[in-house]
Amino acid sequence: MRKLIVAALVLAAAVTGWAASDILVLGTIDRATNFSFANSYDHFTWHILRHTTKALVGMEPGTSAVVPSIAESWEVSEDGLVYTFHIRPGIVFWDGHPCDAYAVQWALERTIRLNGPEGGVFLIADVIKEIDALDSLTVRITLNYPDATFLIRMTDNVIPSLIYSPKSTPEDRFADERSYAGTGPYRIVEYVPDARVVLEAVPSYFGPEPKTKRIVWVIYANEAALRAAVEAGDVDLAFRTFNPADIVDLEAKGTLQVVRGPSASIRYLLFNVTQPPVDNALVRQAIAYAVDRDAICARVFSDLNTPIYTMVPAGLPPAGASIPVFPERDLAQARALLAQAGYSSANPLRVNLWYTPTHYGTTEADVAAVLKQSIEEAGLVQVTIQTLEWAAYVKQMSSGGFDMFLLGWYPDYLEASNFLAPWTTESPESLGTYFNRHPRYPIYREKMEEALSAVVEAERVALYQEIQRLSAEDVPWIPLWANNQQAYMIAQRSVKGIVLDLTMEPHLELLYKE
């Protein structure tokens, strides 16, 4: 059926006079939720939206550098509270409305005002105090407090920062794929949930002309179907996500391009630091010594994923922020800590390990089994594996119902603090750690606030490193592996323009085929 759909779409394009090279068919197992800037918070929806409109600033493909976009330049006040953006003249939305300072103010204020329950509006709303259009080409944004991550939050990687037209977008309800106009290289011309998203190039785009006129994302049911599609040539390029064994096998065959980009996605164990028996730091430290990252990466992920010993991925700004702070595996040290905490063969530690069976793919049960085995190898401990589907998992996690549980993180924005603050100083209850009730919570909060207000980057780096060292003592989390598996793109040999970076997504406007 999918092959017939793709063939029909290509034929329809041919009828309009487009050449085969004008159409690129992409495959994924990701799903979109709703195309609302104020009420969406998932990777694939954000991927589509950021290709249909732009923000004040962007990120240069292939790097993590902040570059001009709708704003051609900007200044920051000495106290770090006032950002003045100068809008690039002549930009228009695809509905013909000018993208000027007044449209920028309207769009940002609308997103903050609507603040949907399923969205990520807090990423900009918490820091912004007020927005003022000083004239048609000048916008001033005043912050509630200095925040060194503000420019990164205002890139088009953070969807609440995107700018859209006051002419086409409803004032007081969430937008969908039919009810907004943007400034980006593409617009959505068809969306069939769980089936496909079709994008077409927009002539009014102010940047370089997209390499391909029509992009068709075809949504597959599972990893096996995605592999079959790319091997059969039904799709030109496939992304997110393949089974590890399939990646290894396809790379060995050598008939397709198998391209791995850098990964900013991580997997880890979390603890509710108020929940017995893991409210005891000695217990959390013992488990940190017992986990076997190498076994997980080898047995479950064919060594595509790699062990990590800090929550902050290497390569994130600011440079040098990431340092390995968690210990290598040491079962003798794990046993000593458990004994110090009062456990013995007659009185073993009994702890739950929670996971969700489908949200992170089909490998999660295997991960849990390896973790259970490796932790129990320390002796003096019995692990009971527990599972819940994602909706119930999130509910129980945020209500404090887990002791030890698996989770994954893809960043809201590409800066080291977004891998430290969420579980400690920003959303510790909703993310299940309840770290706001930990005795050292005020220390983390003070250091994070100091880091975000630091003007000198080296000071911010030092504070981020200090927070990482503290986390290895308090163990609210155990970093496990870098999720490289999600950074693989597999394409036909004819596909060009593949650029993968820490955003972990294809830059559609650069893709084409020969």
Task: Dump pLDDT digits (tens) for 199-258.
Answer: 999 999 999 999 999 999 999 999 999 999 999 999 999 999 899 999 999 999 999 999
Residue 17 has pLDDT above 80, yes or no: no
Q: Do 360 and 220 fall within a single domain?
A: no
- Same domain? For 341 and 470 the reply is yes
What is the rounded (10 degree) CA torsion for 271, 276, 282, 284? -20
Residue 188 lies in a domain: no
pLDDT tens-digit readout, 387-441? 999 999 999 999 999 999 999 999 999 999 999 999 999 999 999 999 999 999 9
pLDDT at 362: 85
- The pTM assigned to this predicted structure is 0.91
Closest C-alpha to 43, from 359, 402, 454, 341 = 359
Residue 88: CATH number of its domain: 3.90.76.10
Confidence of residue 63 (pLDDT cuts 50, 70, 90): confident
For residues 419 and 476, is the Cβ–Cβ distance under 8 A? no
> So what's the pLDDT on residue 101?
98
Q: Kind of pairing, strands 381-387 and 349-355?
A: parallel
Number of domains in the chain: 3
Identify whether 457 is part of a domain. Answer: yes
Q: CA 514 → CA 21, 88, 188, 277, 494, distances in Å?
A: 7, 34, 24, 60, 5
Domain co-membership, 8 together with 133: no
Whether residue 403 is contained in a domain is answered as yes
Closest listed residue to residue 366, CA positions, set 257, 462, 481? 481
Share of the chain above pLDDT 70, in %: 96
Asked if residue 201 and residue 87 are part of one domain, the reply reads no
Identify whether residues 273 and 227 lie together within a single domain. no
% pLDDT > 90, the chain: 92
Taking the CA atoms of residue 110, residue 113, residue 116 and residue 117 in that order, the dihedral angle to the nearest 10 degrees is: 170
Domain co-membership, 239 together with 351: no
Structural domain ending residue among the three candidates 124, 147, 179: 179
387 plus 477 within the same structural domain? yes
User: What confidence score (pLDDT) does residue 11 get?
Assistant: 43
Indicate the DSSP class of residue 317: S
Which of 149, 179, 209 is the last residue before a domain boundary?
179
Beta strands (DSSP E) in 56-195 are 57-59, 66-68, 71-76, 82-87, 128-135, 138-143, 186-192
Q: Is residue 185 part of a domain?
A: no
In a domain, 186, yes or no: no
* 365/393 same-domain check: yes
In-domain check, residue 320: yes
Average pLDDT of the residues of the chain: 95
Same domain for 372 and 437, yes or no, is yes
443 lies in some domain: yes
Distance, in Å, from the CA atom of 168 to the CA atom of 325, rounded to the nearest integer, reads 50
Q: What is the mean pLDDT of residues 92-104?
A: 98
CATH number of the domain that residue 320 is part of? 3.10.105.10
Report residue 19's pLDDT band, with 50, 70 and 90 as the boundaries. confident
Q: Are residues 208 and 113 in the same domain?
A: no
From CA 135, how far away is CA 251, in angstroms rounded? 55
Which range marks the domain in which residue 62 is found? Answer: 41-179
Q: Residue 272: pLDDT band by 50, 70, 90 thresholds?
A: very high
Q: Which of 335, 35, 375, 326 is nearest to 177 (CA)?
A: 35
Which secondary-structure segment (H or E) carries 449? helix 441-452
- Do 431 and 412 lie in one domain? The reply is yes
Position 36 in a domain = no
Question: Residue 282 to residues 351, 378, 473: CA-CA distances in angstroms?
Answer: 14, 14, 9
pLDDT of residue 191: 97
Asked if residue 326 and residue 270 are part of one domain, the reply reads yes
- CATH code where residue 504 lies: 3.40.190.10
Residue 106 sits at φ, ψ, to 5 deg, of -60, -45
Last residue of a domain, one of 179, 202, 235: 179
